[in-house]
Chain A
Amino acid sequence: DAGVIQSPRHEVTEMGQEVTLRCKPISGHDYLFWYRQTMMRGLELLIYFNNNVPIDDSGMPEDRFSAKMPNASFSTLKIQPSEPRDSAVYFCASSFDGGLVLGELFFGEGSRLTVL
C-alpha cells in the first residue's frame, strides 16, 4: 500500500482564494482525521470521520472551513475564503478500529499552505 496520500504538497495562494486539500486514506481504514500543525499551536485535530461520516468537527476553527468524505477512499478539506492565519501544514491520517483500541494513526506527508 502507498500509505496516506495528500495533495497538493505545497500550496501558495492569496487571501480570499478558495483552497482545497485532498486526501486518500489507506485502503481498509475506516477512520480519517484532519489535523493542522503550526509552531505556536502544535498538531490540532480539526475533524474526524468514521465510515465516511463526520464524528466530531469541534476543532474546525470557523465556518470558512469544511470537510467532506464522499467515499471511503477520498476526503477533502476546503477553506473559503482563505486568510493568512490559515497558513500551516495540514495533515491527513487514517486508522482502523482495532476493537477496544483504535489502531495507530498513519499520517500523510502533509500539505503546506501559505496564504499571502
Chain B
Amino acid sequence: SQKIEQNSEALNIQEGKTATLTCNYTNYSPAYLQWYRQDPGRGPVFLLLIRENEKEKRKERLKVTFDTTLKQSLFHITASQPADSATYLCALDGGTYKYIFGTGTRLKVLA
C-alpha cells in the first residue's frame, strides 16, 4: 500500500543546532515533493518544493534533499531558533496533482 512516513515522535533540539527531519515514502513515484510548516491552530504554510531531478534545494536556513532511489527526503534547519518550533509536513503528488501529506513531525527548539 502507499505510505508516507515521518517520524511521529517529537524532535527536541538545542537552539543553534541543525534539525533534520525525515520523510520516507513507499509505492509512490512522485515527480516532486513539498515541505510545509504548521503552527498550532493554523493551516499549513508552504516552505519548499524539490523536483525529482534536483538533489538538493536551499532557502535561507532551510535545505531539502530528495533521493528517489531511497524514496526519502530530508529537511534540514540550520542554526535553529525557538521560533522554528512547529510541526513540519511533507507532501507529495500521488498522481494528477493529488497532494498527499505525511503525518508530520513536531519540532521543538529549546532555548
Contact = CB atoms under 8 A, between A and B. Distances in A.
Interface centre among B41, B96, B97, B102 (most CB of A within 10 A): B97
Is chain A's interface secondary structure helix, strand, loop, or mixed overall?
A: strand
B43 A93 contact: yes
Contacts of A104: 34, 46, 49
Interface string A38-68: 0001110100101000011000000000000
Interface residues of A, number: 26
Contact of A42 (B32, B49, B93, B102): B102
Interface of B: 31-32, 34, 36, 41-46, 49, 51, 89, 91, 93, 96-104
Given A4-B43, A48-B99, 18 more contacts: A33-B99, A42-B103, A42-B104, A43-B44, A43-B89, A45-B100, A55-B97, A101-B51, A102-B97, A102-B99, A104-B46, A104-B49, A105-B44, A105-B99, A106-B46, A107-B44, A109-B43, A110-B43
